Amino acid sequence: MPPPDKPPLVLRITKPTLLKRRPVPGEALAANEKVAKPPCRIFLHSYAYQVPGENLQGHVKVCFEGPVLNNASVWYIYKEHCLIEGVEPPQISSPASSNSSVPRSSSRINQAGLDMIKRFEGFRPQAYICPAGVPTIGYGSTLGVRMGDRITQQGGEDLLQRDLVRFEKAVKDAVKVPLTPNQFSALVSFAFNVGISAFQRSTLLKLLNQGNYQSAADQLLLWNKGGGRVLQGLVNRRQAERALFLKN
């Protein structure tokens, strides 16, 4: 149960509307891509009024605590049809300011970071045991996964979006210096791969919080081992994360 001073996030639907799998007019969606909803209140896991690299076309992107339809938890709803309770709506920046420091209250991974995670994680439709011995599915999701589980690619993307909220928050809470969207997204990818505890204890984070951005970027390259040996896949991933971190 959340503490009294931190009310839960709630989506309050104020008029009959559609929850949609894509931010497009309802008539452009198939029957299994939309759900009619009357005025009601639904608990949320997270939400976004703006997503780098994605045109929401007047929608809010919401992630529910559990699936709404077809095992999907990520949906879109027109902004004028709803209110988000429990938070103040974030200020929406103009495209010209996309490379400014990330607001600490609304940091989200950008499209470049999301694409990088998906590329290096790869998609697996059936649960498998990862090198760490943990049942894993989709794009590296482990929470609640059991051997024998199967998932669609869309389901894998929904699980990834759900999982990333935790890592976005960990980076936002741990970093005490301003970050560009690319720097933030590179760190989310890194934390997603090595784990939150390893990120929090890392020399990389210590150097970054001292304002030494270049040395922090170089630290990424040292995290290239698995089972005590250098793995080419990790070498490639760390190089990509460093390149994104240093990109304007």
Give the model confidence (pLDDT) of 184-201 as tens digits.
999 999 999 999 999 999
How would CATH label the architecture of 10-85? Roll (2.30)
d(CA 235, CA 248): 22
Portion of the chain with pLDDT greater than 70, in percent: 83
User: What are the start and end residues of each CATH 1.10.530.40 domain in the chain?
Assistant: 102-246
CB–CB of 139/122 below 8 Å? yes
pLDDT at 226: 81
Question: pLDDT tens digits, residue range 18-64?
Answer: 998 888 888 888 888 888 888 888 887 777 777 666 778 888 888 87
Q: Model pTM greater than 0.85?
A: no
CB–CB of 110/162 below 8 Å? no
Q: Does 35 or 204 have the greater pLDDT score?
A: 204
Query: Quick one: fold of 102-246?
Result: Lysozyme (1.10.530)
- Statement: residue 101 has pLDDT above 50: no
Question: pLDDT tens digits, residue range 135-183?
Answer: 899 998 888 888 999 999 988 998 898 889 989 999 999 999 999 999 9
- Please state the φ and ψ torsions of residue 11, each to the nearest 5 degrees: -90, 115
Q: What is the 3-state secondary structure (H, E, C) of the chain?
A: CCCCCCCCCEEEECCCEEEECCCCCHHHCCHHHEEEECCEEEEEEEEECCECCECCCCEEEEEECCCCECCECEEEEEHHHEEEECCCCCCCCCHHHCCCCCCCCCCCCCHHHHHHHHHHHCCEEEEEECCCCCEEEECCECCCCCCCCECCHHHHHHHHHHHHHHHHHHHHHHCCCCCCHHHHHHHHHHHHHHCHHHHHHCHHHHHHHCCCHHHHHHHHHHCCEECCEECHHHHHHHHHHHHHHHCC
> Which are the catalytic amino acids?
121, 130
CB–CB of 135/128 below 8 Å? yes
Type of residue at 177:
V
User: What are the start and end residues of each CATH 2.30.30 domain in the chain?
Assistant: 10-85
Residue with tokens 């170089």: 218
pLDDT at 66: 62
Q: Does 75 or 103 have the greater pLDDT score?
A: 75
